[in-house]
Structure 1
Amino acid sequence: MMDSDQASRTLGIELIEATDGKAIATMRVTADMVNGHDIAHGGYVFLLADTAFACACNSHGPVTVAAGADITFVAPARLGDLLVAAAEERTCYGRNGIYDVTVYREDPGGHTVIAEFRGRSRVIAKDAS
């Protein structure tokens, strides 16, 4: 799926891991992603979280899409920050799932949470072929 994701690749999003309902993706904040307040535009942070979410919910095999998502911005990201999005499945029921994604940046003293994202998934096909 990620090989065909032109939007994520264009933004430099790299998939680090995707297995068993979990995924980790990274993205460096570039000058094109900074808004008028000199911080990363929230839409780019959302897109990174959404990409990690998509990879986590598709790690099981069936074609799965977003049914909805919410994000809470906690701290600003800035030009040059390397953001990490860590997605994890919370529950699956029938053809539905709930996933949480934490977007953070590594800092010298640990990491700073940038945003918390909750995605709701829906399986649309029995297999990915």
Structure 2
Amino acid sequence: MTPQEMAEACARAMWNNDSTSQRLGMTLDHIGPGTAVLSMTITEAMSNGHGNCHGGYIFTLADSTFAFACNSYNQLAVAQHCSVSYLLPVRIGDRLTATATEVSRRGRSGIYDIRITTQDGAHVAEFRGHSRSVKGTHLPD
């Protein structure tokens, strides 16, 4: 199995059990070794008291993207630490795209940067996730 085929198989296995991403209307637009792209349209149910997208939904999109990227090697990986910086408000109806890039993967630790943009290309948030590999795999041996 090629690294790309492995990433795709792991993503399918994860997606089948990921009710949060599915119920929020996320789509998995791209997967590859150490990389992932997910997108989601912001609904009125996701708005905060200011009428903008609640930051927790932006974080959730980024976190899901991070999870698919760091789990693309058939080794279970979990978040060890995450941080997000919000750059611009997001409006109801905006379509957000989160793009994960692997910065480093050594031993059991990984670092991933996730850039979140709108349908117009506005850069609205930056997320950095630190992963930790744990026992287990997504696919049977």
Return the TM-score normalized by structure 1. 0.94
Identity of paired residues, percent?
41
CA–CA distance in structure 2, aligned partners of residues 127 and 33 of structure 1: 33
Q: Which residue of 2 aligns with 1:119?
A: 129
CA RMSD of aligned residues (A): 0.9
- Structure 1 residue identity aligned to 2:124: I
Structure-to-structure mapping, 1:27-106, within 5 angstroms? 27-106=40-119
Higher helix share: 2
Higher fraction of strand: 1
Asked if structure 2 preserves the Cα contact closer than 8 Å seen for 1:19 and 1:60, the reply is no
CA distance in 2, matches of 1:30, 1:125: 37
Q: Secondary structure at the match of 2:119?
A: strand
Q: How many equivalent residue pairs?
A: 126
**Could you tell me how far apart the structure 2 residues matched to 1:65 and 1:2 are?**
15
Work out whether 1:2 is the aligned partner of 2:12. no
Local SS of the residue matching 1:106: coil
Residue-by-residue CA offset, 1:54-111 (whole Å, 9 max, x unaligned): 000011110111011000000011000000000010001110000000010121xxx1
Q: Which runs of 4+ in 1 moved over 6 A?
A: none
Residue 38 of structure 1: how far off its partner (Å): 0.8
TM-score when normalising by structure 2: 0.87
Kindly provide the amino acid, as one letter, of the partner of residue 30 in structure 2.
Answer: E
The runs of 5 or more residues in structure 1 that have no matched partner are none
Q: 1:14 aligns with which of 4, 27, 46?
A: 27
Give ranges in structure 2 of 5+ residues lacking alignment.
1-13
Q: Distance in 2 between matches of 1:100 and 1:106?
A: 19
